[in-house]
Amino acid sequence: MVEALYVAAGFGQVIATRASISGAEGGCQAEVGSASGMAAAALVHVMGGTPGQMAHACAMALSNTLGLVCDPVAGLVEVPCVNRNVMGAVNALSCAEMALSGVESAIPCDEVIDAMRAVGDALPASLRETGSGGLAATPTGRRLAERL
């Protein structure tokens, strides 16, 4: 298990260096996506996979969350964040299983990370943890914010 944590940390360090793990900088793809990719790689390790399979699992998990915006209702890390973290966990497990079954990412992990950086840089500020766009800007999102 300790080795799996090192695997996750290693992939996380590469992501943080090449892109971001911050929603304020790269949207939810940088938070949930990065965590999902890190978990996918760690799961592959736990299940006896190879380093190449770990990279494919991470790349697929990141690809699946590419473009995910950060739009917390009322600026709180609750809605939709909790549900998105569940989605990220399921995504990690699915991508680990796919990698172990021989499915490979068409785009190498480093390039997916670079693409995540480019997408995050292209996101408007309203979709990067400001609580001013996306679900936070809906009528219900605004009403919830007013009640707090």
Give 93's pLDDT tier (boundaries 50, 70, 90).
very high
Q: What is the pLDDT of residues 7-51, one digit of tens each?
A: 999 999 999 999 999 999 999 999 999 999 999 999 999 999 999
Query: What are the phi and psi torsion angles at 70 (to 5°)?
Result: -110, 105
The DSSP code sequence of 56-123 is HHHHHHHHHHTT--B--GGG-S-TTHHHHHHHHHHHHHHHHHHHHTT---SS-HHHHHHHHHHHHHHS
Q: Is the pLDDT of residue 110 over 90?
A: yes
Query: What are the phi and psi torsion angles at 89 (to 5°)?
Result: -65, -45
Give 64's pLDDT tier (boundaries 50, 70, 90).
very high
Give 61's pLDDT tier (boundaries 50, 70, 90).
very high
Average pLDDT in the 70-82 region? 96
Q: Is the pLDDT of residue 148 over 90?
A: no
CB atoms within 10 A of CB 98: 19
